[in-house]
Amino acid sequence: MNPFDKFKEYFLQIRNITTVGISTIIANGISGIFWIYLASVLGVEKYGELGYMLAVIGISGGIASFGTVNAMIVYVSKGEKIQATLFFIVLCSATIVGILSFIIFKNEAMAIYPLGYVIFSSVIFDLLGKKSFANYGKIMVLQRIIMVVLVLVLYQQYEIYGIVLGYSLSFFPFVFLMYKGFKESRIDFSILKGKINFITTNYVTHMSKILNFNIDKLIIFPLFGTAILGPYQLAFQIFILIMLIPNTVLTYTLPHDAIGIKNIKLKKYTVLFSASITIIIIIFSPIIIPEILPQFEESIQVIQIMSLAFLPSSLSILYSSELLGSERSKVVLVGTLISVIILSSGILLLGNDYGLLGITITFVIAKIAEFLFLHIKK
């Protein structure tokens, strides 16, 4: 490769990183800051109740996705016309999950979330697989803006129900992109031949990650109540906000890892960021939280302890990118299940004896255990 071609390749790589990075940071920054803002509006116990509802719909959306999330990125990035087939599968599964959700919870907002989620996530990951980073960025930001507007409007009328309803409805304007996907390819179940094992394993892996993301709230709410879940939920939202940098890197590295491009320097910078932000959060959270969220002062120690999970979680994300890109999703699955088991059992054991502090320590231990397993197996 001549110097000009090398420069061109480097320039395109930097442009793509910048496009994905800025748009994902803006989009997730909007939602992250907005969920934290809602803490000041709702107060501790209402915020805990919202956290529980978000956990429930998060799991229902994961069930409805039927393993197509990372499968879409991996196979589309390899040029396979699999979109229409996967779109059809998730639309059917989301409809079923939505009906069951309504029967169980008698809540229309929670019932429509699975359908909205699979529509949006499918088209987003289709764009990532195509490496259409500019369109990905625009749609991510637009969806977050629509979400904020709908939630603020509907909250005035329906309170917490309105928040969930606005969140669910914000996905539906992008159904036209799924329609385009149906036109670009056709439903052909034979294309899944030889892929079922990977898609199934990826589904279980994705569901385990969804559980890893939400199981703590599902346990804390009925056993310890909203007074405990509220402060924990705020710390968790801050954790998610900070983790948007490693997750942004994942959206860029996964389609490249699928074709053997490792992006070593980018991953090293991600690790350095995670270590630095841990120190910053520990030092400054006791100063900032009392000023902006005085009713959540109990969250300060929780935020500091939870920040210790930034580095192992970031490393787990980077390892997962490489493993999923090489279709070694079973390793990622086992690592996530280890985290889920430790988190669930630890909350039950340490939560009873040490309350909020014990629950938070369990969270950190679970993330470290997941990282250590992936590090050994990588």
pLDDT for res 319: 80
What does the block give as tokens for 23? 């748009």
What does the block give as tokens for 93? 């599964």
Residues 6+ apart with CB under 8 A from 199: 67, 68, 71, 192
pLDDT for res 7: 47
Q: Which long-range contacts (CB under 8 A, 24 or more apart) does 284-289 make?
A: none
Signed CA dihedral, 72, 77, 82, 88: sign only? positive
User: Rounded to an integer, what distance in angstroms lies between the CA atom of residue 116 and that of residue 92?
Assistant: 12
- In whole numbers, what is the pLDDT of the chain averaged over residues? 86
pLDDT at 183 over 90: no
| Helices assigned H by DSSP within 159-225 | 160-169, 175-184, 196-224
Asked if residues 75 and 129 have their Cβ atoms less than 8 Å apart, the reply is: yes
CA 242 to chain centre: 12
* Closest to 206 (Cα-Cα) out of 66, 366, 363, 78: 66
pLDDT band with cut points at 50, 70 and 90 for residue 118 = very high
* Closest to 137 (Cα-Cα) out of 124, 150, 147: 124
Asked if residues 164 and 117 have their Cβ atoms less than 8 Å apart, the reply is: no
Residues 6+ apart with CB under 8 A from 127: 133, 135, 136, 139, 177
- Dihedral (C-alpha) 114, 120, 121, 124: value to the nearest 10 degrees? 180
Q: Tens digit of pLDDT for each residue in 244-257?
A: 778 777 666 666 65
Length of the chain: 378
Asked if residues 88 and 66 have their Cβ atoms less than 8 Å apart, the reply is: no
pLDDT for res 174: 93
What does the block give as tokens for 363? 């969270």
Domain total of the chain: 1
pTM of the model as a whole: 0.85
13-22, 144-153, 176-185, 347-356: lowest mean pLDDT where?
13-22
- Which amino acid is located at 220 in the chain? I
Q: Above pLDDT 70, what percent of the chain?
A: 89
Signed CA dihedral, 130, 132, 135, 140: sign only? positive
pLDDT for res 18: 67
pLDDT at 340 over 60: yes
49-53, 239-243, 316-320: lowest mean pLDDT where?
316-320
Reduced to 3 states (helix: H, G, I; strand: E, B; else coil), residue 250 is helix
| Domain interval for residue 155 | 3-377
Residues 6+ apart with CB under 8 A from 319: 371, 374, 375, 378
